[in-house]
Amino acid sequence: MDFAFILDPLPLVKAYKDSTVAMMRALAARGHRVHALEQGDIHWQDGATRGRARPLELRPGNEDWYAAGEPETRALKDYAAVLMRKDPPFDMEYVYSTYLLEAAEGEGARVFNRPRAIRDCNEKLAIARFRDFIAPTLVTRDAAVIDAFIDQHRDVIVKPLDGMGGTSVFRVRHDDPNRNVIVETVSHEGARTVMAQRFIPEISDGDKRILLIGGEVVPYSLARIPRPGETRGNLAAGGRGVAQPLSARDRQIGEALAGPLWAEGMLVAGIDVIGSFLTEINVTSPTCFVEISEQTGFDVGGLFATALIGAC
């Protein structure tokens, strides 16, 4: 079968840690063919959504890891499935891509994660659907409401709804002399809606990424442990990734979310758990396949390939 992956420019993809490469390799190992295209390679005309994709020959190693063939334009519905794996930012161009992919679905294409589901699932705000598992949380752009929340909970994390990799995430204590300027900065002086959450001290043990694939919970998480003096565990912010078996609470949260998200067309989701609390639901381009597989021996890519092929 032929599978098309929408992703960032190939020269920018770091094979040593990229989950999309792990997905491609798992499919190729089963004899399937993979193709790569970017957002700008998709177009709609005369009732058909097409993509200009290059077939890839995958090579071992992490440096010269692929050879790309000549580009070919074909209808997206002609692939066994189309995988939307473009990294954030989730900007308007990303939204336009989901509209095009939704049109392709209407023509018969299988698209994962489903474009409407991606569009409807803000990775920060989606936790509101699962209130039993979250710490005290506020979403607003009203500075006075944020101030009251900080006064109530004394130690709070404030972050924008469209951030990634730990960018613009601030810890604010009630007695912080810079609290007003931090709130003003994150909220763009009330022009941008933000999320505030009660600080969870267990962040010192790691911000755990738990992968949900085809309605199943991967039995290991990757705990992103903050470097000294830091409150963010994100790998992009210098965190250290340590794979570990799921705790009973991790599994409880994962199993509660896996079924509903898969029913909505989320083939792959990455939920973030700190201590015993769900903090985010990542659906655009969840990572950590490589780190979990290398540290535990669990074949995350294989589970993905089995789920994808079964869905086709």
Rounded CA gap, 150 and 197, in Å? 9
Residue 160: which domain range?
136-199
**One domain for residues 195 and 217:** no
Average pLDDT (88-113) is 96
More confident residue, 64 or 228: 64
pLDDT for the residue numbered 237? 64
pLDDT band at 273 (very low <50, low <70, confident <90, very high): very high
Percent of the chain with pLDDT over 70: 98
Q: Kindly report, residue by residue over 127-158, the tens digit of the pLDDT.
A: 999 999 999 999 999 999 999 999 999 999 99
Of the listed 159, 179, 198, 208, which one is catalytic?
159
Mean of pLDDT values over 259-276: 98
Continuous segment of H or E residues that includes residue 277: strand 277-282
6/78 same-domain check: yes
More confident residue, 169 or 136: 136
SS3 of residue 19 by DSSP: helix
Residues 166 and 215 in one domain: no
pLDDT digits (tens, 9 = 90+) for 42-74: 999 999 999 999 999 999 999 899 999 999 999
- What is the bridge-based pairing of β-strands 2-6 and 33-37? parallel
Mean pLDDT of 103-130: 96
Domain boundary among 178, 199, 220: 199
Residue 77 has pLDDT above 90, yes or no: yes
Whether 139 and 125 have beta carbons less than 8 Å apart is answered as: yes
- Residue 251 sits in a domain of what CATH number? 3.30.470.20
Mean pLDDT of 158-169: 81
Structure tokens at 304: 């993905």
Residue 70 included in any domain: yes
Same domain, 149 and 90: no
Does 171 have pLDDT greater than 90?
A: yes
Is 25 tagged catalytic? no
Q: 106 with 155, same domain?
A: no
Is 208 part of the annotated catalytic residue set?
Answer: no
Model confidence band, residue 257 (pLDDT cutoffs 50, 70, 90): very high
pLDDT, residue 28, reads 98
Q: What is the pLDDT of residue 166?
A: 67
pLDDT, residue 227, reads 81
Measuring CA to CA, how many Å separate 133 from each of 123, 126, 152, 160?
Answer: 15, 12, 20, 21
Query: Cβ distance 252 to 230 under 8 Å?
Result: no
Nearest Cα neighbor of 303 from 240, 170, 234, 213 is 213
Binning pLDDT at 50, 70 and 90, where does residue 168 land?
Answer: confident
253: confidence class by pLDDT, cuts 50, 70, 90 = very high
Residue with tokens 């199993």: 255
Catalytic-residue membership of 105: no
Sign of the alpha-carbon dihedral angle for 244, 246, 248, 253: positive
234 is catalytic: no
Known catalytic membership, residue 30: no
- The tally of domains found in the chain comes to 3
Q: Do 106 and 190 fall within a single domain? A: no
- Both tokens of 254, joined, read 């994962």
Q: Would residue 280 show up in a list of annotated catalytic residues for this protein?
A: yes
User: Which of 113, 114, 209, 291 is the catalytic position?
Assistant: 209
Across the range 185-206, mean pLDDT stands at: 94
* 283 shares a domain with 227: yes
Over residues 228-244, mean pLDDT: 78
Indicate whether 189 and 257 sit together in one domain.
no
Which uninterrupted H or E stretch holds 289?
helix 289-296
Neighbours of 262 (CB within 10 A): 20
Residue 235: band (very low, low, confident or very high) from pLDDT cuts 50, 70, 90 = confident
Residue of 86, 179, 232, 234 with catalytic role: 232
Catalytic residue list contains 207 = no
Tell me which residue of 198, 200, 189 sits closest to 144, measured CA to CA.
189
pTM: 0.94
Catalytic residue among 113, 122, 234, 282: 282
| CATH code for the domain of 154 | 3.30.1490.20
Residue 274 has pLDDT above 80, yes or no: yes
For residue 30, the SS3 value is coil
Contact between residue 40 and residue 120 where contact means Cβ atoms under 8 Å apart = no
Residue 272 designated active-site: yes
